Amino acid sequence: MHSLFRVGKKSTKFDFELSSVEAIHSAIEGKLVTLRWVRGSKSGGTHKNVLSTPDGRAIWSAADTMALGVTLYRSDAAGAFDAKEYRIAVDEVVRAGATKTLASAKIDLAKFADKMCASKDAECELTLVGDDGLKGRIKLHLACALPGALTTRSTPKLEQTKAVRDTAEFSRAKEQIEHEKGKKVKKGAEASPVKAGGSSENGGKKLKMPAWERRALGLQSDRLGFFDPSAASPLPAFICVRV
Protein backbone atom coordinates (compact mmCIF):
# COMPACT_ATOMS: atom_id res chain seq x y z
CA MET A 1 0.00 0.00 0.00
CA HIS A 2 2.79 2.38 0.88
CA SER A 3 4.67 1.52 -2.31
CA LEU A 4 1.57 2.29 -4.40
CA PHE A 5 1.19 5.57 -2.57
CA ARG A 6 4.76 6.53 -3.56
CA VAL A 7 4.48 5.61 -7.28
CA GLY A 8 5.63 8.54 -9.44
CA LYS A 9 6.81 10.57 -6.43
CA LYS A 10 10.27 11.89 -5.81
CA SER A 11 12.08 10.91 -2.62
CA THR A 12 14.52 12.97 -0.58
CA LYS A 13 16.47 11.78 2.43
CA PHE A 14 16.94 13.99 5.46
CA ASP A 15 18.75 13.77 8.76
CA PHE A 16 16.79 15.02 11.76
CA GLU A 17 18.23 15.79 15.16
CA LEU A 18 16.15 16.46 18.27
CA SER A 19 17.80 18.10 21.26
CA SER A 20 17.22 20.35 24.29
CA VAL A 21 14.08 18.37 25.14
CA GLU A 22 11.92 19.32 28.13
CA ALA A 23 8.96 17.09 29.01
CA ILE A 24 6.32 18.01 31.57
CA HIS A 25 3.66 15.52 32.61
CA SER A 26 2.15 14.23 35.86
CA ALA A 27 2.80 10.61 34.80
CA ILE A 28 6.58 11.01 35.00
CA GLU A 29 6.82 12.59 38.47
CA GLY A 30 10.00 11.48 40.28
CA LYS A 31 10.72 8.63 37.84
CA LEU A 32 13.82 7.62 35.89
CA VAL A 33 12.85 8.20 32.27
CA THR A 34 14.32 7.96 28.80
CA LEU A 35 13.35 9.45 25.46
CA ARG A 36 12.57 7.62 22.19
CA TRP A 37 11.29 8.25 18.69
CA VAL A 38 8.91 5.61 17.32
CA ARG A 39 7.51 4.84 13.88
CA GLY A 40 5.89 1.46 13.38
CA SER A 41 8.33 -1.22 14.48
CA LYS A 42 11.32 1.12 14.32
CA SER A 43 12.57 3.24 17.18
CA GLY A 44 15.63 4.96 18.57
CA GLY A 45 16.46 7.19 21.48
CA THR A 46 18.94 9.17 23.54
CA HIS A 47 21.85 7.56 25.37
CA LYS A 48 21.02 9.22 28.65
CA ASN A 49 18.33 8.53 31.23
CA VAL A 50 17.23 11.40 33.46
CA LEU A 51 15.44 11.56 36.79
CA SER A 52 12.34 13.72 36.55
CA THR A 53 11.57 16.22 39.29
CA PRO A 54 8.76 15.69 41.86
CA ASP A 55 6.59 18.07 39.84
CA GLY A 56 6.94 15.93 36.68
CA ARG A 57 9.64 17.72 34.70
CA ALA A 58 12.40 15.92 32.76
CA ILE A 59 15.12 17.76 30.85
CA TRP A 60 17.65 16.48 28.31
CA SER A 61 20.49 18.88 27.47
CA ALA A 62 21.55 20.00 24.00
CA ALA A 63 24.28 17.34 24.08
CA ASP A 64 21.70 14.55 24.58
CA THR A 65 20.59 14.39 20.95
CA MET A 66 18.17 12.01 19.32
CA ALA A 67 19.00 11.42 15.65
CA LEU A 68 16.99 9.75 12.90
CA GLY A 69 17.17 9.42 9.14
CA VAL A 70 13.92 10.06 7.27
CA THR A 71 12.89 9.67 3.62
CA LEU A 72 10.23 12.14 2.53
CA TYR A 73 8.18 12.03 -0.67
CA ARG A 74 6.48 14.61 -2.87
CA SER A 75 4.83 14.71 -6.28
CA ASP A 76 6.29 18.03 -7.37
CA ALA A 77 10.03 18.75 -7.08
CA ALA A 78 9.21 22.22 -5.77
CA GLY A 79 6.13 21.27 -3.76
CA ALA A 80 5.56 20.34 -0.14
CA PHE A 81 6.48 16.92 1.22
CA ASP A 82 3.84 14.38 2.13
CA ALA A 83 3.12 14.10 5.83
CA LYS A 84 5.27 11.66 7.80
CA GLU A 85 4.31 11.29 11.44
CA TYR A 86 6.58 10.06 14.20
CA ARG A 87 5.90 9.55 17.88
CA ILE A 88 8.10 10.97 20.62
CA ALA A 89 7.76 8.75 23.70
CA VAL A 90 8.81 9.36 27.29
CA ASP A 91 9.48 5.94 28.83
CA GLU A 92 10.08 4.88 32.42
CA VAL A 93 13.21 2.77 32.91
CA VAL A 94 11.74 -0.16 34.85
CA ARG A 95 15.01 -2.11 34.97
CA ALA A 96 18.08 -2.55 32.80
CA GLY A 97 16.89 -3.08 29.23
CA ALA A 98 13.18 -2.75 30.11
CA THR A 99 11.07 0.37 29.66
CA LYS A 100 7.42 1.38 29.86
CA THR A 101 5.86 4.25 27.90
CA LEU A 102 4.30 6.83 30.21
CA ALA A 103 3.38 9.54 27.71
CA SER A 104 3.92 10.38 24.05
CA ALA A 105 3.46 13.12 21.48
CA LYS A 106 3.03 13.05 17.70
CA ILE A 107 5.10 15.13 15.31
CA ASP A 108 4.92 15.49 11.51
CA LEU A 109 8.54 15.81 10.41
CA ALA A 110 7.55 16.81 6.86
CA LYS A 111 6.53 20.21 8.24
CA PHE A 112 10.11 20.89 9.28
CA ALA A 113 11.82 19.94 6.00
CA ASP A 114 12.67 22.86 3.72
CA LYS A 115 11.20 22.66 0.20
CA MET A 116 14.56 23.66 -1.28
CA CYS A 117 16.34 21.04 0.89
CA ALA A 118 18.21 23.70 2.84
CA SER A 119 19.25 23.18 6.45
CA LYS A 120 16.60 24.27 8.92
CA ASP A 121 16.27 24.76 12.68
CA ALA A 122 13.05 25.08 14.65
CA GLU A 123 11.74 25.24 18.19
CA CYS A 124 8.47 23.39 18.72
CA GLU A 125 6.08 22.51 21.51
CA LEU A 126 3.87 19.42 21.38
CA THR A 127 1.07 18.01 23.50
CA LEU A 128 2.30 15.10 25.59
CA VAL A 129 -0.51 12.62 26.26
CA GLY A 130 -0.36 9.92 28.93
CA ASP A 131 -2.02 6.50 28.85
CA ASP A 132 -4.69 7.88 31.17
CA GLY A 133 -5.54 10.65 28.73
CA LEU A 134 -4.03 13.40 30.87
CA LYS A 135 -2.09 15.99 28.91
CA GLY A 136 1.23 17.67 29.40
CA ARG A 137 3.67 19.26 27.02
CA ILE A 138 7.04 18.61 25.49
CA LYS A 139 9.36 21.27 24.05
CA LEU A 140 12.36 20.55 21.84
CA HIS A 141 14.84 21.94 19.35
CA LEU A 142 14.74 20.30 15.93
CA ALA A 143 17.40 20.47 13.22
CA CYS A 144 16.94 19.16 9.68
CA ALA A 145 19.41 18.87 6.80
CA LEU A 146 20.48 16.67 3.93
CA PRO A 147 22.48 13.56 4.96
CA GLY A 148 25.90 14.46 6.36
CA ALA A 149 25.20 18.18 6.64
CA LEU A 150 24.28 18.18 10.32
CA THR A 151 27.79 17.12 11.38
CA THR A 152 29.40 20.02 9.47
CA ARG A 153 26.93 22.71 10.45
CA SER A 154 27.10 25.06 13.39
CA THR A 155 27.80 23.59 16.81
CA PRO A 156 24.91 22.70 19.10
CA LYS A 157 23.38 25.53 21.10
CA LEU A 158 25.08 24.43 24.30
CA GLU A 159 28.51 24.49 22.64
CA GLN A 160 27.71 27.85 21.02
CA THR A 161 26.89 29.29 24.41
CA LYS A 162 30.17 27.94 25.83
CA ALA A 163 32.12 29.30 22.87
CA VAL A 164 30.55 32.74 23.30
CA ARG A 165 31.28 32.63 27.03
CA ASP A 166 34.90 31.57 26.46
CA THR A 167 35.37 34.31 23.86
CA ALA A 168 33.97 36.92 26.23
CA GLU A 169 36.25 35.74 29.04
CA PHE A 170 39.24 35.84 26.69
CA SER A 171 38.34 39.39 25.60
CA ARG A 172 38.02 40.53 29.20
CA ALA A 173 41.38 38.95 30.08
CA LYS A 174 42.99 40.59 27.07
CA GLU A 175 41.57 43.99 27.99
CA GLN A 176 42.88 43.55 31.54
CA ILE A 177 46.35 42.72 30.25
CA GLU A 178 46.32 45.74 27.92
CA HIS A 179 45.12 47.92 30.79
CA GLU A 180 47.93 46.72 33.06
CA LYS A 181 50.47 47.27 30.29
CA GLY A 182 49.14 50.78 29.77
CA LYS A 183 49.47 51.52 33.48
CA LYS A 184 53.08 50.30 33.47
CA VAL A 185 53.95 52.38 30.42
CA LYS A 186 52.33 55.47 31.94
CA LYS A 187 54.12 54.93 35.25
CA GLY A 188 57.45 54.54 33.47
CA ALA A 189 56.81 57.69 31.46
CA GLU A 190 56.13 59.65 34.65
CA ALA A 191 59.30 58.31 36.26
CA SER A 192 61.49 59.36 33.28
CA PRO A 193 59.65 61.90 31.12
CA VAL A 194 62.59 62.27 28.74
CA LYS A 195 63.48 59.10 26.88
CA ALA A 196 65.69 58.20 23.98
CA GLY A 197 63.39 58.84 21.10
CA GLY A 198 61.79 62.09 22.17
CA SER A 199 60.77 64.28 25.08
CA SER A 200 57.36 64.60 26.68
CA GLU A 201 57.27 68.26 25.73
CA ASN A 202 58.08 68.06 22.05
CA GLY A 203 56.01 64.88 21.50
CA GLY A 204 58.96 62.98 20.00
CA LYS A 205 59.34 65.30 17.00
CA LYS A 206 62.69 65.89 15.40
CA LEU A 207 64.03 69.35 16.25
CA LYS A 208 66.29 71.49 14.10
CA MET A 209 69.43 72.50 15.99
CA PRO A 210 70.57 76.13 15.77
CA ALA A 211 73.70 76.62 13.65
CA TRP A 212 75.77 77.98 16.47
CA GLU A 213 75.04 74.97 18.66
CA ARG A 214 75.83 72.64 15.79
CA ARG A 215 79.20 74.27 15.25
CA ALA A 216 79.92 74.28 18.96
CA LEU A 217 79.26 70.54 19.23
CA GLY A 218 81.20 69.77 16.07
CA LEU A 219 78.22 68.28 14.21
CA GLN A 220 77.85 68.23 10.43
CA SER A 221 74.08 67.73 10.37
CA ASP A 222 71.49 70.13 11.68
CA ARG A 223 69.40 67.24 13.07
CA LEU A 224 70.23 64.94 15.96
CA GLY A 225 67.52 62.22 15.92
CA PHE A 226 64.85 63.06 18.45
CA PHE A 227 66.58 65.90 20.22
CA ASP A 228 65.33 67.72 23.28
CA PRO A 229 67.30 70.89 24.02
CA SER A 230 66.00 70.89 27.59
CA ALA A 231 67.55 67.47 28.15
CA ALA A 232 71.01 68.42 26.83
CA SER A 233 73.74 69.21 29.30
CA PRO A 234 74.76 72.90 29.53
CA LEU A 235 77.45 73.89 27.07
CA PRO A 236 80.76 75.08 28.47
CA ALA A 237 81.51 78.76 28.07
CA PHE A 238 83.74 79.57 25.15
CA ILE A 239 85.05 82.57 23.26
CA CYS A 240 85.14 82.81 19.48
CA VAL A 241 88.13 84.68 18.11
CA ARG A 242 88.33 85.69 14.50
CA VAL A 243 91.75 85.30 12.91
Q: What is the pLDDT of residues 170-179, one digit of tens each?
A: 556 556 666 6
Q: Which residues contact 196 (CB under 8 A, 6 or more apart)?
A: 226
pLDDT by 10-residue block (mean), the chain, 243 residues: 70 96 97 95 89 96 92 92 96 92 97 94 97 96 94 49 47 62 60 48 55 62 48 47 46
pLDDT value for 78: 83
Partners of 106 in the beta sheet?
Answer: 87
**168 domain-assigned:** no
For residue 241, the model assigns a pLDDT of 45
Q: What is the DSSP string of 49-78?
A: -EEPPTTSEEE--TTS-EEEEEEEEESSTT
What CATH number did the domain enclosing 84 receive? 2.60.40.150
CA distance 50 to 35: 9
Residue 193, SS3?
coil
Let me know whether 157 and 199 are in one domain. no
Phi, psi for 226 (deg, rounded to 5): -90, 95
> Residue 37, SS3?
strand
- Type of residue found at 221: S
Per-residue pLDDT at 126:
97
CA 65/CA 58 separation, integer angstroms: 14
Same domain, 153 and 201: no
Residue 87 and residue 132 share a domain: yes
Look at residues 145, 163, 181 and tell me which one is the last residue of a structural domain: 163
- Which pLDDT belongs to residue 233? 47
Q: Which domain range does residue 221 map to?
A: 193-229
- β-pairing verdict for 32-39 and 10-24: unpaired
Backbone φ, ψ for residue 40 (5° rounding): 65, -125
Q: Which of 39, 35, 37, 58 is nearest to 48 (CA)?
A: 35
pLDDT for residue 156: 45
Tally of domains within the chain? 2
| Domain end point (choices 121, 144, 163) | 163
38 and 119 inside one domain: yes
- The region, left, alpha or beta by phi > 0 then psi within -120 to 50, assigned to residue 116 is alpha
The pLDDT score that the predictor gives to residue 70 is: 96
- Together in a domain, 135 and 222: no
Taking 3-state DSSP, the helix, strand and coil percentages for the chain, each rounded to the nearest 5, stand at: 25, 35, 40
Predicted pLDDT at 207: 55
Angle at 189 between CA 186 and CA 191, to 5 degrees: 110
Question: Which of 116, 146, 163 corresponds to the end of one domain?
Answer: 163
Same domain? 213 vs 111? no
Say what the pTM is.
0.61
